[in-house]
Amino acid sequence: MNAETLKGRSLLTWLDYSAEEIRYFLDLSHRVKQEKKRGENRQRFTGKTIALLFEKRSTRTRCAFETAFGEEGGHPVFLSTQDIQLGAKESVEDTARVLGRMFDAIQFRGFSQKTAETLAEHGGVPVYNGLTDSYHPTQALADLMTLEENFGTGPGKKLVFAGDGRNNVARSLLVISAKMGINCTIITPAELHPDAELMASCREIAAGTGAELTITADLGAAAGADAVYTDVWVSMGEESERERRISLLKPYQVNQALMDRTGRKDSIFLHCLPAVKGEEVTADVIDGPQSRAWDQAENRKHTIKAIMLATMGL
């Protein structure tokens, strides 16, 4: 693959990228992590700027973008909805046109996927989706990186997600798994199945890569899993659904009993964080020896750095 094909491109969803391109991002992610461990200071973003637009609060996404960009010599500028007129007194299109003339790249973390698409259409610079209600692509790349650190590269691994099957993390895992030949199982109640349109797209992709995609309510589907993954039961913006969601998802809590259903002592636990211990996961699992949630959190930084380096042609 010619790295030039990545230069100038936005990352809104992994649907827009080939398996070969995702492999390039993953290889680069592993490389920059090793550079960091060796204490190498490359300063590849010197003279570059990035606008970080946040409608939603963040710990890992904000810290990953700011530290990855800043330690390479670049200047990240954080902009919340309290700071700029995003979609208020100024249209998203006009905001994109202005920021694209002042910054080398834009990150957006917010509600609507359409906002990210509009920024990319009118900004003229790479736009990175730091999370929308539809997709969380930078998280999914860190998830695969963590999976590879424990089980090696290559297709055929089994990733099980238990919880809200239509949230942005589950949707992104389906997409990237289909692309990379990962067998992805979503264990979720019928009311929270991923939408049919996305599943049709993912199954079409999976037909070419050999990935097996399964949607089920059966906890027994965790058998043989390399990794068991969960996310909070109530996503940002859905707080009014809290009581109903907890009642619906309580049977799908990741506890030691569910981890034992894999039938493997080397299975790992993943969580995109923040976690509500005692709800979607028990403390003994996320804080226990099978948990890789903290490696996963660190890998947000390395994967985001790799994405920016590749798409900015550095």
DSSP state string for 70-114: HTTT-EEEEEETTTS-BTTTB-HHHHHHHHHHH-SEEEEESS-HH
Instruction: Name the active-site residue from 122, 261, 271, 300.
Output: 300
Closest by CA to 111, choosing from 94, 88, 134, 128, is 134
101 is in an annotated binding site: no
- What is the spatial distance between Cα 43 and Cα 69, in angstroms, rounded to a whole number? 9
Instruction: Name the active-site residue from 109, 122, 261, 292.
Output: 109
DSSP state string for 233-244: SS-TT-GGGHHH
146 is in an annotated binding site: no
95 is in an annotated binding site: no
Is residue 284 annotated as a catalytic residue, yes or no? Answer: no
Instruction: Name the active-site residue from 271, 272, 292, 296.
Output: 272
136 is in an annotated binding site: yes
Is residue 272 annotated as a catalytic residue, yes or no? Answer: yes
258 is in an annotated binding site: no
85 is in an annotated binding site: yes
Chain length of the chain: 314
134 is in an annotated binding site: no
Is residue 139 annotated as a catalytic residue, yes or no? Answer: yes
226 is in an annotated binding site: no
272 is in an annotated binding site: yes
Closest by CA to 246, choosing from 278, 293, 270, is 278
Instruction: Name the active-site residue from 107, 139, 253, 290.
Output: 139
Instruction: Name the active-site residue from 136, 171, 245, 292.
Output: 136
138 is in an annotated binding site: yes
- What is the spatial distance between Cα 280 and Cα 190, in angstroms, rounded to a whole number? 17
State the DSSP code for 226: S
Instruction: Name the active-site residue from 231, 245, 253, 261.
Output: 231
Is residue 122 annotated as a catalytic residue, yes or no? Answer: no
Is residue 300 annotated as a catalytic residue, yes or no? Answer: yes
Question: Which residues does residue 78 pair with via DSSP β-bridges, in sequence order?
Answer: 52
94 is in an annotated binding site: no
Is residue 63 annotated as a catalytic residue, yes or no? Answer: no
In the three-class reduction of DSSP (H, G, I as helix; E, B as strand; rest coil), residue 216 is classed as: strand
Binding-site residue ranges? 58-61, 85, 109, 136-139, 168, 231, 235-236, 272-273, 300
Binding-site residue ranges for carbamoyl phosphate? 58-61, 85, 109, 136-139, 272-273, 300
Q: Which residues are catalytic?
A: 109, 136, 139, 231, 272, 300
Binding-site residue ranges for L-ornithine? 168, 231, 235-236
